[in-house]
Each structure stands twice: as structure tokens, then as C-alpha cells.
Amino acid sequence: MTLLFVALLALFALAVVGVAARRSPWVGTAVYGGTATACGLIGLWAVGALVGRDGAVAAVLPIGVPWIGVHLRADGVSAFFLLVVALGGVTASLFGWGYERAHEQAADHSGVHSGGESGPVLPFFPLFLAGMSLVLLANDAFSFLVSWEFMSLTSWLLVLSTHRDPDTPDAARLYLMMAVLGTLCLLLAFGLLVGTGGDYRFDAIRQHPPEAGAAALVVLLMVLGAGSKAGLVPLHVWLPLAHPAAPSHVSALMSGVMTKVAVYALVRVLFDLLGEPVWWWGGALMAAGAVTAVMGVLYALMQDDVKRLLACSTIENIGVILIALGLALVFKASHTPVIAALALSAALLHVVNHSLFKSLLFFVAGAILTATGTRDLNRLGGLIHRMPTTAVLALIGAAAISALPPLNGFVGEWLLFQAILNAPALPEWSLKIGIAVVGAAVALAAALAAACFVRLYGIAFLGRPRSAEAGRAGEVGRAMLAGMAIPAALCVALGVLPTFVIRLFEPAVRAMVQAGPFDDRSYQPWIWLAPTSAIGNSYNGLILLGMIAALSVALVLAIHRWASDRVRRSIAWGCGHDGDDPAALSQYSASSFAQPIRRAFGGTVFNARDRVEMPEPGDTRPARLTVCWTDPAWAFLFTPVRRAVNWLADHADALQFLTIRSYLTLMFAALVVVLTLVAVVRS
Amino acid sequence: MIAAVIHQVLHMALVLALAPLLTGWVRLVKSRLVGRRGASVLQPYRDLARLLRKEVVLADNASWLFRSVPYVMFTAIWLAAGLVPVFTTDLALAPTGDLIALIALLGTARFFLALAGMDTGTSFGGIGSSREMMIAALAEPAMLMVVFSVAVLVRTTSLAEIAVYMMGGTVGLRVSLALALIALVMVAIAENARIPIDNPATHLELTMVHEAMVLEYSGRHLALIEGAAMLKLLLYAAVIACVFAPWGMATPTQGSLWIGLLSFLAKLAAAGAALALFETSIAKMRVFRVGEFLGGALLLSLLGAIFLYVSRGV
């Protein structure tokens, strides 16, 4: 654990360096290089802890509140999530280093040097990573909540580093409010967990889990508290605003990694601290996850901003992870631990997968932003010709997140479906039927995600450029490409050899559900994924990839040997627009691509309408088509709440100007009410 | 093991060889049904051979993606077809992927074809791609729900195991299987761009889906895409036959390959004739009615799964 502490201290020290040496030219290199190294160490330690399987290690630090101290403990689950944080940290540091240098150079060229845009990012970047690691290590409620707040505040400051953008302050304010709300829920949840004993250590909570009523309340509060951080619909409203507002490598960390820390909080409390689960906890989690998954991807399909689209797709993936967690809880409650382990493995695998491809895609968005200066899909296009390497890496990311075999996204989805197919083993009727519906929701979300990423990739990278900036774009630097290449390579590796990583985090699964996903199989060849108790279900990404490669090569050779291999280049039929269509208006745009889906799904969910303004015959003004839609989360929840709060504030204002007699009367009335309450409760 | 590998190679060659024949058969039956003589069943082979001999005309701004998609797509569908047992369940690749992997492989082919449709930056490609993805967004969940209801009954998603179980005869006639069959047929019609969802013979821009997406392809690329479409039709016929009518198929322990082969040919002929009959008796629907059609398929398959619980209490 010494290695871990050294790395964490190094992260704090790097923040000091970031502040102290903010004027020197090497500070970016030092901070990002140091952060990458520290995260690398954390990752190595985590892998060592998972492979070694030597149980949990714990430590008490004599800092913090005097009579409590800071209790830290790393078991399999913590080590697994630390690995996710560390992976995200390494790639984000690498990418961020190149990203900020590119932006500084661009600022130098254009002459508008704003005094070091990277200045505000550097100190908080390592602190953010340290905060997330501390949440994963905390072993008492107090240090957990302090680290949680630390993580929220550092990420909030990172969002604010782009405060010159007009949208950022509003996004940051909303984020802060939702973060405060989330922490409030967590605070109450831990208060209930601790109970009247007052022992804040997780070990003590684990030994005396709360009784049924309090446990139900804890589940509810945890889902609200951690869910608001993870992007649970309808508490997600801050996420598509705040995640994209930060610099791209920070967006990658917030979307790819910080949401996973929230998942960790759920796993820790629901599987570990609360003891034996009740079936409806999982049912509630699955229902929330299903709504989140479908709504998230529909939101993503409505977005025209690359980074906002990615943030919405994070909501979808969190929904999928919550469904898997809910399934694991349900099976744990019904005492089928092997299937619970299967579902939990699906959840954890999706945690790694999503952190990889979402980081990758946010880096791609950052690369696009660097090369073109815009995030608007309707101003992009044709980047496959101008950014060839980025285009290949982006294609891997888009295919992986669309759950296409043989990449990693599919393996997670496959495992989840295998768990879903075990629903008939459950005793509760509502769950059997409910899980069938949840399965349909997962399938719908996956299919819509594929549409969403065909749209993203097709509009941004394919076709003709939709603006002059997109036409002038050039490939980004090596550091940024390397930052993208690492997660892309891991996406392929995890898809082809998933059993390695599932074996790697088996200690985490075992710690939570007391079984491993491969337990009921006596023989487990290393490249075959065949975990369930049902017969004959298996998947092999390696053979699939090998077959696709071999057949493709054979096909190419055969066709070029025996068929024609002549090629002629010609202009494509552009509906009469050739030559006089510099903005590529005859080409499909992001909004037009989404139109069929908007019409099929958005009409009911978002009240989406296409309004056409057709000028009179003879009028030469162009016709206009406006797409308008309303966000149900705002329309039905947040706007009414805001109105109610404003109304309350306005009317509470009157209380400020009362006479002393009225105040005394009010206090007396309050006293009487409290005493009556106490009397009622006591009797 | 060796026998399984030989079967697999034979199987891959067989599906490749039979796919144009099935398409030719459907066209012939359709022609006869509307009172035309129709072209020979061998016409698709000739078409493909002619396309393969022609040169490729590429749009100026077509990228490497556009040129590689036909190969990737053809391979993915061919491999998917290689996972569906047709004459024997003893296939070497059978454990590589189950029904879910098969659906995902078809999804891969669709994903890349939709991207290729957007590569040249013309309106037709965009129309085709966006409509294709909308159709897929409903068809894929419907198909997965069919898999779900079958798997609830059979306890497996492996096609070979499903075929063996269904041949065992312990299943009998079931309402939910009928619902699943109807849903699967609806999905197959949508996924293969058949009437009433799409018309493989049309080039009218307002109604095109699949044809619009591949409009820019020519020569050997078009041959591969057409070939892949034919393979996909055969694949869906084979999946339906494998799950709902696997009789005659050989297993590792019993049954003869020849009977398996002949029964497969008979099933294909019946499926092709049924498809032709259905297509001639129905009109194409508006693109935006497709949502209702496939939403119906999704609900039917979900209902099938729920009925199964009610009827048997599994």
C-alpha cells in the first residue's frame, strides 16, 4: 500500500507544482508527465492487488477528525475501480498534454494569447484524480463523504476552467447544485447506515446493517445521491451541460471515470454495507436503469454538439450498468450467486469498457475541436481524408460503443443478455416479466446507440466538409494520437480476449456476491467465454476476429485475382448541386439523419415537431425547417421545482419584516408543535 | 472434430452457392404469380458474374472506408451464415457465437454499410442510411426478444443446441412459439428490405431504403453487396428453419447429411415461395408506417415471452 500512498502524495504535490510554477514553460509537461506516472503506479498497484488476491489491505491515517482518523481500505472492488481511474488518468494526461500544447500554439499563432488557458486546469487535474482514488479507498463514512465532495469540487473547478465560454457558468452552477443535492442524499444515507451507534467505520456498518425500513430508505437515497452523479434520468440534466464544458481530456475523465466512481458507491453500499439484499432493490435499480438507458440514447440522438452527444451517450451506458447491477442484486437476493456473479461481471466489464471507449471518443472530440475549432456536427464532415489516423481510432471507438463484435462493447452486452436470459430462474413473477421488458429496453438502447454513432461518425468524418474550417483541418499531434491509440487498442484487446479481464476482476465479484462467474463450469478453456449455467452458450471473440480477417483477405485476393480490378474516379451525382454547393447543403446533415428516429420515437418522448416555413410562390426567401423539442426532465420536473422554490422564496421573504411580537408567537408555536410531536412519538 | 471442420467448410461453400439461387427462385415465383414468365432461376448468378467483370466507378471523394465496406460486410454476413446450422448441427464454428452474436454480426454489417452510404456525401446515401438505422433500431430488439422467448423455453441461445432440442419433440405446439415465429418473419422481411418495408426492385427516391444506401456502388463492390444481400435472405430463411422447423437436420450422433441437405433445399424452396406469395399479395407501406409494423413485431415477441411464463410457469 506504500506505493499507493506515494502515488497519491505525488498527485497532491503535482497540484502544488501546478500552482507554484504556473508561469514556467515546462509546467504542463511536468504536471501531465507526473500525473501519468502517478496514475501508472496506481494502476500497477491495482493490478498487483487483483492478481495477488491477498485479500483486503487496510490502513488508518492519523489525520482528519481527531477521534476518528482516516480509515482506508482496498479490497478487490476498490482495486478494480482504482484500475479504471488509473487507466483513465494515464490516457487523459497523455492526451491532455498534447491537447493543451496544441491549443497554446494555436493561441500564439492567432495572437490572442489569453494568458495560458491551461493555467486553471493544471493544479486541479491531479487533485481530481486523487479525489476519485480517495473515494475508492475510503473505509469510513466521514472520509468517504469528504473525498466525494473533494472530487465534486475539483471537477467543478475544472469545468470552470473554460469560464470564458458563454455557456460554462450556467453549466457549472447547475452542476454545483446537483452535486450538493447528491451529497445531501449520500449524507442522509450514511447517517442511516451508521444508525444510533455513531461508529462511522465501514467495518462496523457491515457488522450491524440497518433493519428493513432504514435499509429501504438507504437504497432510495443512494440511488438518488450516486445516481445524480452518474447521470440517472431524470437527475441527469447537469451532465450534458457540465461534462462537455470542461476541456476534452477532463470531459473524458468526468464521463468515463467519475461516473464510475458513482457506480462504485452504489456497489459498495448495496452489495457490501447493506448486507443481505431484498429483491425489489434490484428491481427498482433495473427499472431506473432501463429508463435511463433508453432516454439517454434518445437524448444523444437529438444532439448536434459532438461532446454533448457523447455526454448523453454516457447516460445511456450508465443505464446499462445499472441494469446489470440490478440483475446482480436480484439474483443475489434469490440465492443464485453464480448468476449474480455473471450479472455483476457484466456490470464491471461494462464499467471498464465504457471508461475506455468513452475516453477515446471524448479524445476524438478534442482532436476534432483542435483541428477545426468547432464541436458542431453541422459544421464538420470529410475528416477521414484530413485526419486519417484519428478517423481510424474514432471508427474503433464508434464500433466498440455500438456493441459490434469482435470489440469489447459487445462482450459486455453479451454477458448482460446471458444474465437476462436466466430470469426464468427467479421466483418473483413481477421480476420475470419485468426483466423481459428490461431486456427489450437494453436491446432497443443498443440498437439506437448504433444509429447514434453511425450518425456521429458519418456526419463528422465522412461525406463532404460542411464548413471551411472542416475543409482545412489537419491531423493532430503524436501525443494526442497516442492518447487515443491506447484506449483503442484496449477496446480491441478486451473484445478479443475478454476472459483475461473477467478473471482479473473476479476477486472483486467474489467479494460482493461470494461467487465467481465461472464457478459452475468444471472446464474453462482460456479463450472461450462460456459462463452460464445454461447449455452451450459460448462466445469467442478471437476466432471471430480471426475468421473475419481471414475471410476478408481471402475475399479481397480472390476478387482481385479473378474479377476486374479496374477503378475509375468520377463525380458523384449531387442532385444538380455539383460545383455550386460549397457548404454541402445537399448532403444529409446531423438533424436530417436523426429525422426518422425523431419522428418514430421523439414525437411521444420529446414532443418533437418539425416546423416548415414555406415562403409564398414568387418569394425568393429560402424555406426554413425548424426542429423543436422539449426535454421532459425539465418540463415535468425541474421547471416546476424551480417555480415552486421561487414561489416559496418570494413568500418566505415576507417573514423578514415581521414585528417582534409575531416572531415570539411563531417561536412559541414552533415549540408547542415540537413538544406535541415528541409527546406523540414517545407514547 | 475433423468432421465438424469439414462440415463447416462444406456449409460455408453451400450457403455461398445457394444464396443467388434462392433469390432467383423468389423472383421466378413472383413473376409467375403476376402472370409473367420471369427470368431463369440462374439469372442472379449471371448478374453477379457480369458485375464482377465490370470496372468500379468511385466518387471523387470516396475514402478507403467506402472501398473496404463491401468486403467487411460480405465477410460479416457470410460468417453469420456460417453459424446457422442448415444440414447438420455438427459445425466447428458453432461454439464461436450464439444467436446473439449472430444478430450482432448482422449489426456490424449494417453499421458499416450505413457508414458507406454517408461517405460520398450525397443525399441518397444519407436517406438510405438514416432510414436503415431507424428500421434496425426496431428490428434488432424485436429479434432479440424472439431469441429471449426461445431461450426461456430451450434454456440456450446456441443455434445448434436449439435445433437439437426442437427436434427432440418435447416442445410441442405453443402459442408463444407461434408469436415468436410471426415476429421473426416480420423482422426478416424488414431486414431483407422486402415488401412492404422496402422494395428491392424500386429506384423511386421517396421509397428507397437499402437501394438508396448502396446507390454509389458499382462493379465488383456492388456484386459483393448484392451477394451479401442474397446471403442475408438465405440466412434468415435458415434461422427460421433452424429454430422452428429443424426436422431432417443431422446431428453429431444421428441422421444422414444427405437427408439434411435435401430437407434444407425443400425448406428453402418453401420459404422462397411463401415470401413471393406474401410480397405479391401486399402493397408497400409508407416509410413512417414501418415504425408501427416493427413495433408490432417487438410487442408480439415480448408477448410471446410473457405467454411462455403464463402457460408453463417456467
Closest CA in chain A for residue B104:
A404
The C-alpha atoms of residue A203 and residue A68 are separated, in whole angstroms, by: 13
Judge contact between A302 and A633, C-beta under 8 A.
no
pLDDT in tens, A234-254: 999 999 999 999 999 999 999
Q: Is B99 on the interface with A (CB under 8 A)?
A: no
Whether A359 maps to a domain, the answer reads yes
Judge contact between B195 and B208, C-beta under 8 A.
no
Nearest alpha-carbon partner for A186 in A244, A134, A250, A143:
A143
Judge contact between A411 and A303, C-beta under 8 A.
no
Nearest alpha-carbon partner for A608 in A343, A194, A301, A394:
A301
Number of domains comprising chain B: 1
A32-46, A402-416, A593-607, B71-85 — which is least confidently predicted?
Answer: A593-607
pLDDT in tens, A196-211: 777 888 999 998 888 8
Residues A451 and A598 in one domain: no
Residue A54: its pLDDT value, please? 65
Please tell me the distance in Å from A537's CA to the nearest CA on chain B: 5
Please tell me the distance in Å from A77's CA to the nearest CA on chain B: 29
Residue B143: its pLDDT value, please? 93
Verify whether the Cβ–Cβ distance A552 to B100 is below 8 Å: no
pLDDT in tens, A323-356: 999 999 999 999 989 889 999 999 999 999 999 9
Strand B56-59 to strand A567-570: parallel, antiparallel, or no bridges (unpaired)? parallel
In a mutational test of the A interface, the residue from B11, B112, B133 whose CB has the highest number of chain A CBs within 10 Å is B133
Mean pLDDT of A378-402: 95
Closest CA in chain B for residue A457:
B115
Residue A538: its pLDDT value, please? 83
Residues ≥6 apart with Cβ < 8 Å to A634: A237
Q: Is B56 on the interface with A (CB under 8 A)?
A: yes
pLDDT in tens, A157-199: 999 988 888 889 999 999 999 999 999 999 999 999 988 777 8
Question: Does residue A126 carry a pLDDT above 90?
Answer: yes
Q: Is A447 on the interface with B (CB under 8 A)?
A: yes
The b-or-e profile of A385-399 (16+ CB within 10 A means b, else e) is bbbeebbbbbbbbbb
Residue A116: its pLDDT value, please? 44
Residues A533 and A604 in one domain: no
Question: Does residue A69 carry a pLDDT above 50?
Answer: yes
Q: Contacts of residue A557 in chain B, CB cutoff 8 Å?
A: none
Number of domains comprising chain A: 3
Verify whether the Cβ–Cβ distance A570 to B125 is below 8 Å: no
Question: Does residue A484 carry a pLDDT above 90?
Answer: yes
Average pLDDT, chain B: 90
In a mutational test of the A interface, the residue from B16, B77, B99, B100 whose CB has the highest number of chain A CBs within 10 Å is B100
Mean pLDDT of B107-131: 92
Give me the residues of A, 455-494, that contact B with CB < 8 A. Answer: 455, 457-459, 462-464
Q: Contacts of residue B305 in chain A, CB cutoff 8 Å?
A: 436
Q: Is A384 on the interface with B (CB under 8 A)?
A: yes
Verify whether the Cβ–Cβ distance A534 to B155 is below 8 Å: yes
pLDDT in tens, B121-173: 888 889 899 999 999 999 999 999 999 888 888 888 889 888 888 888 777 77
Residue A577: its pLDDT value, please? 67
Interface size, chain A vs chain B, as Cβ–Cβ contacts under 8 Å: 272
- Largest Cα span, chain A: 102
Residues A669 and A616 in one domain: no
In a mutational test of the A interface, the residue from B69, B134, B220, B287 whose CB has the highest number of chain A CBs within 10 Å is B134
Helices then strands (H, E): number in chain B? Answer: 11, 1
B205 — pLDDT class (breaks 50, 70, 90): low
Nearest CB to B137; choose among A420, A447, A593: A447
Nearest CB to A439; choose among B57, B148, B224: B148
Residues A616 and A655 in one domain: no
- Show the cell assigned to A404: 459490434
Question: Does residue A114 carry a pLDDT above 60?
Answer: no
Please tell me the distance in Å from A513's CA to the nearest CA on chain B: 23
Please tell me the distance in Å from B75's CA to the nearest CA on chain A: 6
Range picked from A160-169, A297-306, A419-428, B164-173 for highest mean pLDDT? A297-306
Verify whether the Cβ–Cβ distance B123 to A597 is below 8 Å: no
Mean pLDDT of A513-535: 69
pLDDT in tens, A613-666: 888 888 888 888 888 888 899 999 999 999 999 999 999 988 888 899 999 999
Verify whether the Cβ–Cβ distance A538 to B95 is below 8 Å: yes
Residue A238: its pLDDT value, please? 94
Mean pLDDT of A278-286: 94
Verify whether the Cβ–Cβ distance A595 to B130 is below 8 Å: yes
Residue B64: its pLDDT value, please? 95
Question: Does residue B314 carry a pLDDT above 70?
Answer: no
Residues A604 and A670 in one domain: no
Give me the residues of B, 128-187, that contact A with CB < 8 A. Answer: 129-131, 133-134, 136-141, 144-145, 148, 151-152, 155-158, 160-161
Residue A582: its pLDDT value, please? 63
Q: Is A558 on the interface with B (CB under 8 A)?
A: no
| Burial group, residue A468, by CB count within 10 angstroms (0-12, 13-18, 19+) | exposed
Verify whether the Cβ–Cβ distance A573 to B122 is below 8 Å: yes
Please tell me the distance in Å from B185's CA to the nearest CA on chain A: 18
A49-58, A371-380, B226-235 — which is least confidently predicted?
Answer: A49-58
Residue A580: its pLDDT value, please? 62
Residues A514 and A369 in one domain: yes
Strand A57-61 to strand A609-613: parallel, antiparallel, or no bridges (unpaired)? unpaired
Mean pLDDT of A21-29: 85
Judge contact between A208 and A195, C-beta under 8 A.
yes
Judge contact between B304 and B149, C-beta under 8 A.
yes
Whether A270 maps to a domain, the answer reads no
In a mutational test of the B interface, the residue from A537, A573, A578 whose CB has the highest number of chain B CBs within 10 Å is A537
pLDDT over 70 for what percent of chain A?
Answer: 95
Nearest CB to B95; choose among A447, A458, A540: A540
Closest CA in chain A for residue B133:
A451
Q: Is B216 on the interface with A (CB under 8 A)?
A: yes
Residues A601 and A639 in one domain: no
pLDDT over 70 for what percent of chain B?
Answer: 97
Whether A82 maps to a domain, the answer reads no
A595-599, B5-9, B204-208 — which is least confidently predicted?
Answer: B204-208
Verify whether the Cβ–Cβ distance B137 to A405 is below 8 Å: no
| Burial group, residue B52, by CB count within 10 angstroms (0-12, 13-18, 19+) | middle
Residue B284: its pLDDT value, please? 85
Q: Is A302 on the interface with B (CB under 8 A)?
A: no
Q: Contacts of residue B145 in chain A, CB cutoff 8 Å?
A: 436, 439-440, 443
Mean pLDDT of B179-194: 92
Residue B5: its pLDDT value, please? 92
The C-alpha atoms of residue B236 and residue B99 are separated, in whole angstroms, by: 12
Mean pLDDT of A289-305: 95
Average pLDDT, chain A: 90
Q: Cα-Cα-Cα-Cα dihedral of B113, B115, B117, B123, to 10°?
A: 150
> Following DSSP, what letter does each residue of A256-289 receive, concatenated?
IIIHHHHHHHHHIIIIIIT-S--HHHHHHHHHHH
Helices (H), ranges, A541-587: 541-562
The C-alpha atoms of residue A3 and residue A26 are separated, in whole angstroms, by: 26
Verify whether the Cβ–Cβ distance B56 to A463 is below 8 Å: no
Its domain, for residue A667, covers 632-682
Verify whether the Cβ–Cβ distance B133 to A599 is below 8 Å: no
Residue A516: its pLDDT value, please? 83
In a mutational test of the B interface, the residue from A294, A386, A417, A560 whose CB has the highest number of chain B CBs within 10 Å is A417
Judge contact between A307 and A251, C-beta under 8 A.
yes
Residues A423 and A382 in one domain: yes
Helix (H/G/I), strand (E/B), else coil: A211: coil
Residues ≥6 apart with Cβ < 8 Å to A297: A312, A313, A316, A445, A448, A449, A452
Residues A491 and A350 in one domain: yes
Question: Does residue A522 carry a pLDDT above 60?
Answer: no
Residue A115: its pLDDT value, please? 41
Looking at residue B285, the DSSP 8-state letter turns out to be: P
Whether A89 maps to a domain, the answer reads no
Verify whether the Cβ–Cβ distance A384 to B138 is below 8 Å: no
What sign results for the dihedral spanned by CA atoms A345, A237, A302, A380? negative
Residue B304 identity: G
The C-alpha atoms of residue A352 and residue A503 are separated, in whole angstroms, by: 13
Nearest CB to B63; choose among A384, A451, A537: A384
Verify whether the Cβ–Cβ distance B95 to A530 is below 8 Å: yes
Nearest CB to B55; choose among A446, A454, A567: A567
Mean pLDDT of A141-155: 94
Nearest CB to B121; choose among A381, A439, A447: A381
Q: Is A584 on the interface with B (CB under 8 A)?
A: yes
Residue A113: its pLDDT value, please? 45
Q: Is B269 on the interface with A (CB under 8 A)?
A: no
The C-alpha atoms of residue A668 and residue A417 are separated, in whole angstroms, by: 61
Nearest CB to A405; choose among B75, B108, B126: B108
pLDDT over 90 for what percent of chain B?
Answer: 60
Residues A663 and A647 in one domain: yes
Residues A547 and A604 in one domain: no
A141-160 vs A124-137: helix crossing angle, rounded to 10? 160
Closest CA in chain B for residue A594:
B130
A386 — pLDDT class (breaks 50, 70, 90): very high
Residues A636 and A617 in one domain: no
Its domain, for residue B258, covers 2-312
Q: Is A523 on the interface with B (CB under 8 A)?
A: no
Residue B157: its pLDDT value, please? 87
- Show the cell assigned to A469: 474550417
Q: Which residue has the higher pLDDT, B310 or A404?
A: A404
Q: Which residue has the higher pLDDT, B289 or B66?
A: B66
Mean pLDDT of A267-295: 94
Please tell me the distance in Å from A93's CA to the nearest CA on chain B: 31
